[in-house]
């Protein structure tokens, strides 16, 4: 994150704090029916979003293959570079925050474990995180259980996966990214539930 991004984030956070202060300390503002109701709704949504994010994070960090990799101390040796640590941390956090299925944090945990175990590199980790985020969870499961050596059957599931970068749109075969995801699944299957 650049300094200008951090500054913008700080301004937004401070502005949010000022709005909360205004709602909670200014009696006149609190009495405006629409404002008070909107604030209560937003506060409730924020609480709900926080709980959902907590659930996603819990599923991510408790994924068995990631627990094993972290217990082996691989996180310290693999993420020594500050810039890479920040890039990967931001990428994973932003992906976890927006995923729409609670199976995806577990799969992201497996991808991160494979990164820690040096099965995939940092760029592949981030590309896989993006692919996981943009795909329907059941489509990912279908993809992972298919044998892709001789190509994939042209069906609606595979067609939906074209935009993820996992499937080649000309050959209907797994791309190098798709093959990397299959390597992750194979590498982490000994510790984890089948996908």
Q: How far apart are CA 107 and CA 175, in angstroms?
A: 19
Q: What pTM was estimated for this model as a whole?
A: 0.73
Q: How far apart are CA 56 and CA 60, in angstroms?
A: 6
* Residue pair 120/184 in contact by the 8 Å Cβ criterion: yes
* Residue pair 144/185 in contact by the 8 Å Cβ criterion: yes
Q: Going residue by residue through the chain (195 aa), what tens digit of pLDDT does each one get?
A: 455 445 544 554 454 555 555 555 555 544 555 655 555 665 666 677 778 888 888 888 888 888 887 777 777 777 777 788 888 888 888 898 889 888 999 999 999 889 988 999 999 999 999 999 999 999 999 888 886 666 777 888 888 988 899 988 888 888 899 989 999 988 887 765 655
118 Ramachandran zone, left/alpha/beta (phi>0; psi -120 to 50) = left
Each domain of the chain, given as residue ranges in start order, spans: 52-188
Take residue 17 and report the two structure tokens written for it.
Answer: 């704090």
């Amino acid at each position: 994150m650049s300094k200008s991004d951090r500054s913008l984030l700080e301004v937004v956070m401070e502005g949010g704090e000022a709005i909360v202060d205004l709602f909670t300390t200014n009696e006149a503002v609190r009495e405006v029916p629409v404002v008070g109701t909107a604030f209560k709704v937003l506060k409730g949504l924020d609480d709900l979003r926080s709980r959902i994010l907590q659930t996603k994070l819990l599923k991510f960090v408790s994924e068995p293959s990631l627990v094993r990799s972290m217990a082996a101390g691989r996180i310290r040796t693999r993420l020594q570079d500050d810039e890479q640590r920040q890039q990967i941390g931001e990428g994973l956090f932003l992906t976890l925050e927006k995923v729409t299925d609670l199976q995806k944090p577990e799969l992201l945990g497996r991808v991160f474990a494979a990164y820690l175990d040096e099965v995939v590199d940092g760029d592949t980790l981030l590309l896989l995180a993006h692919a996981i985020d943009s795909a329907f969870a059941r489509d990912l499961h279908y993809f992972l259980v298919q044998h892709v050596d001789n190509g994939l059957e042209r069906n609606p599931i595979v067609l939906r996966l074209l935009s993820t970068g996992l499937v080649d749109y000309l050959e209907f075969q797994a791309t190098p990214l798709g093959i990397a995801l299959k390597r992750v699944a194979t590498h982490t299957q000994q510790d984890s539930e089948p996908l």
